[in-house]
Structure formats: structure tokens, C-alpha cells
Amino acid sequence: MTPTITAFKQSPDRGRGLARDMRVRWALEEVGQPYEVRLVTFGEMKEPAYLALQPFGQIPAYQEGDLTLFESGAIVFHIAERRAGLLPDDANGRARAIAWMFAALNTVEPPLVNRGVAALLERDQPWYGQRQPLLEAGAHRTLGELSRRLGDAEWLDGGFTAGDLMMIGVLFRSKGSGILDEYPNLAAYVARGEARPAFKRAFDDQLAVFTASSSG
């Protein structure tokens, strides 16, 4: 049964890896699982038919036979559990890889998203400059701790896992803001992720949605 994921028909980044289907595409490529993509408009995402699949009206949703899943973390975990390549075989290593998945989404992503959203939505507000030190401090505290833990290791805990995939997926979204330049080991870590053939295939496929449609 070939799974289907949903993705933006009109992506704000025009398919440059920032939308959350990127993580799921990457995971599917890492394990060699072919998949279909169904593009949805922002309007369709708020309709009852879509909300039945994804209660918060977000992308990606994942459908495979009679299973429907949402949340990129849960979808990547589902893929990682069923096919080899993203979770270690030993129980303790597997549990730690899962811990890094949760850390990526619940500890590292929130301060980076808050900083990014403020830059996008509040840049013209009178308080933007005054709140900047708060936002920067939150992002740097987390990135500093992550950088210290990674040190000069290649991946977070032994070989590449779904924990690295989620963490690099989160960090990649902040790369364009320049904040990773202050953490050379994190910048190199993200670059190692981007250099993986599965990342490249996922990235190219996401981008092709937009390069194809803009030539049409």
C-alpha cells in the first residue's frame, strides 16, 4: 500500500524545504518507501473533509490504507518503526533516538519558531525591537545547549537516526536567518544532513512542485 501525504499547493517558501512535509518526505526517502503527494490549498485545509484527516488544518497528513495520521513527528516515527534505517536496533539507543525527536519538536523548535514568527508578523510593530533581546536569548540558550551536547560528533547519539532527521529538519528552517552561523558545529551538522542523498531527493521533489507549476 503506497502512502499518500498532503503538502501545500501554494507554499510560502515556494518549496525550499521549510514546510513540514519536508521531514516526512526525507524519512520516506531514507527508508526507500515510495509515496504519493496530494497538494491542498489553504482554503481546502480549513474544510471539514480535510479537518477529518488533520484536526488542526495543517500539512502534512498521512494516509496508508485505513490509517490516517497527523503531526510530522508522529508520521516520521511511524515510518521509522516500520522500515529499517532510522532507529537503532538496541532498545536503549532506540529510546534515546526518540528522545531527540521530542527534543527537536518540543524544546528546540518553539524558541526558533517564535523568533521567526515575530520577524514575519511583528517586524513593523513598535515593540519588535524591544522584544528582540528576549527572542534572541531564548533561541541562543537552546542552540548553545544543543551545540555543547553535539560537540564534534557527527550525529547526536551514534549513527544517524530519526532524532537527527527531526533536529536537522528543525534547524534547517532557521538557517536562512543566519543564527546558525554562530554555532559552526550546528551549521556543519545541518550541512551533513543536507548532503544525504535522501535529503536531496526529498528537497528536489518538494521544489519540483513549484518549479513545475510556475512553468505551466
- Chain residues binding a copy of itself by CB under 8 A are 51, 55-58, 66-75, 77-78, 92, 95-96, 98-99, 101-103, 105-107, 109-110, 113-114, 121-122, 125-127, 130-131, 134, 142, 145-146, 148-149
Is the Cβ of residue 105 or residue 179 nearer to a copy of itself in the bound state? 105
Cell (9 digits) for 199 = 535529503
Rg of the chain over Cα atoms, rounded to whole angstroms, equals: 18
CB of 202 to a copy of itself, least distance (A): 20
Is the Cβ of residue 15 or residue 73 nearer to a copy of itself in the bound state? 73
CB of 211 to a copy of itself, least distance (A): 30
Distance CA 171, CA 189 (A): 9
CB of 213 to a copy of itself, least distance (A): 28
Is the Cβ of residue 107 or residue 207 nearer to a copy of itself in the bound state? 107
Is the Cβ of residue 151 or residue 197 nearer to a copy of itself in the bound state? 151
Distance CA 32, CA 11 (A): 25
CB of 81 to a copy of itself, least distance (A): 8
- What is the dihedral sign for C-alpha 12, 15, 16, 22? positive
Of 49, 47, 52, 58, give the one whose Cα is nearest residue 20: 58
Distance CA 54, CA 59 (A): 8
CB of 111 to a copy of itself, least distance (A): 10
Of 87, 60, 90, 89, give the one whose Cα is nearest residue 163: 87
Is the Cβ of residue 163 or residue 209 nearer to a copy of itself in the bound state? 163
Distance CA 2, CA 63 (A): 9
